[in-house]
Amino acid sequence: MKWWWPELLRTPATAAVMKIQQDRPDVAVEVLPPGAPLMPELNLERVRVFIDAAGLVAQIPMCG
């Protein structure tokens, strides 16, 4: 079971979300722009995709 996606760093957000959903259809995927407010709780059924102003993945997406 996959928990993180380092290969998606610097890829377009839409492509990243599709790949994560393909690999892990059991998790919710959230796309978060720069400066988005966050709740700090851990949730292993969620993957947050942090993007930059250009819409590219800015951090390695991982469950939590």
Per residue in 29-54, pLDDT tens? Answer: 999 999 999 988 999 999 999 999 99
Tokens (6 digits) for 15: 């492509």
The pLDDT-based confidence of 58 (bands split at 50, 70, 90) is very high
pLDDT at residue 22 is higher than 90: yes
Q: What is the mean pLDDT of residues 9-16?
A: 98
Q: What secondary structure, in 3-state letters, does the chain show?
A: CCCECHHHCCCEHHHHHHHHHHHCCCCEEEEECCCCCCCCCCCCCEEEEEECCCCEECCCCEEC
Domains of the chain, first to last: 7-63 (3.30.10.10)
What pLDDT shows up at residue 40?
85
Q: Over pLDDT 90: what percentage of the chain?
A: 97
